[in-house]
Amino acid sequence: MPDIRLTDEEIRYATLFESMTGVTPIDVVIDHEYNRIIFLVERNQAALAVGKGGNNVKMLKQIIGKDVEVVEYAETPEELIKNSLYPARVIAVKVTKSPTGNLVAITTVVPEDRGLAIGKNGRNIAKAKLLAKRYYDVDKVVLA
């Protein structure tokens, strides 16, 4: 796991998240472009963090005034991308090196879930790209 230092603002969000959900986030990503905060949590903690019927996320959204998204951390870039695109059903993720030496994740989803994987204005694929870059230095996430 890379050495990520949280800003004071991110630490405040992490503290609020933990007090509301009982789950300690591993990381907090403030995504200004899509007006959201992405909380990265340990494996099998996302459902607990989101709460019954999404209640925790709804309350946090009201308090913060931004969208709140929860993603489970993963030990591989492939799994992290898969988790980032949930609930879209991901068939496969293959990370390869481009001729320029950049890492590219070629992601295949169930055809009916393509729109879901991309998200409104590309927000879901952007989230996958943001987290894959932050943790595994993957430069591009492409839907095949």
pLDDT tens digits, one per residue of 108-124: 999 999 999 999 999 99
Q: Which domains does the chain have, with CATH numbers?
A: 8-72 (3.30.300.20), 77-143 (3.30.300.20)
Q: Pick out the chain residues at pLDDT < 50.
A: none
Would you state the pLDDT for residue 67? 97
Separation CA 118–CA 44 (nearest Å): 24
Closest CA to 36 of 111, 93, 140, 119: 119
Q: What is the pTM of this model?
A: 0.94
Residues in a beta bridge with 67: 36
Separation CA 35–CA 69 (nearest Å): 11
